[in-house]
Chain A
Amino acid sequence: RKEVEQDPGPFNVPEGATVAFNCTYSNSASQSFFWYRQDCRKEPKLLMSVYSSGNEDGRFTAQLNRASQYISLLIRDSKLSDSATYLCVVNEDDMRFGAGTRLTVKP
């Protein structure tokens, strides 16, 4: 079983749509959680951390459910510039990355 599993995607949505990505992790001792964004042929960049109480950053909302070992990312009012691959990341002794979910926002 993979350590970090994500929706395989791809997600193709119109501008203005709301889209949600899910992620599960296998190690219950994992301490911290993140969402990274990776544009085509670029390096991954930190999008936001995920806190137990849930957290929001503008149009982005992240949720964590430790009991179910589940993380989510919600994007509201999608923009064309949101098109990218979103990587779920779980911190054990080092950062373990999911395979990513590709999002394409269309006009």
Chain B
Amino acid sequence: DTAVSQTPKYLVTQMGNDKSIKCEQNLGHDTMYWYKQDSKKFLKIMFSYNNKELIINETVPNRFSPKSPDKAHLNLHINSLELGDSAVYFCASSQEAGGYGYTFGSGTRLTVV
């Protein structure tokens, strides 16, 4: 069983479109995250949710909207996609906020054309 699963794995879309990435974890963790890894490979946190509540919202355009229907799921919706949104998006989870070690999903490679 995959501990943290993201879908889709690859996403190619045109500028201006709206897309969603889904994430689910079966580890029973309380906290989930979205990270963005750009072309320079720098991993930067975007959002953090603890038990369905938003606890970290870094400086991210408001075109990005996370949604956590329950503590096992954290989805990311992106409106009006731009070329600069092309990156790999990683979902992760941990037992508690900032807790010991994160488990990452395998990533969603988003390409905006």
> B interface vs A, CB < 8 Å?
33, 35, 40-45, 48, 55-56, 90, 97-98, 100-102, 104-107
Contacts and interface: CB of A to CB of B under 8 A. Distances in A.
19 contacts: A42-B107, A43-B90, A43-B104, A43-B106, A43-B107, A44-B43, A44-B104, A49-B100, A49-B101, A91-B98, A93-B55, A94-B33, A94-B56, A94-B98, A95-B45, A95-B102, A97-B35, A97-B42, A97-B43
Interface in A8-53: 31-32, 34, 38, 42-46, 49
Interface of A: 31-32, 34, 38, 42-46, 49, 85, 87, 91-97, 99-100
Contact of A93 (B41, B56, B107): B56
A60 B101 CA distance: 18
Contact of A94 (B41, B45, B100, B106): B45
Given A32-B100, A94-B56, 18 more contacts: A31-B98, A38-B41, A43-B90, A43-B106, A44-B43, A44-B102, A44-B104, A85-B41, A91-B98, A92-B98, A93-B55, A94-B45, A94-B48, A95-B45, A95-B98, A97-B35, A97-B43, A100-B41
A87 B106 contact: no
Contacts of B55: 93
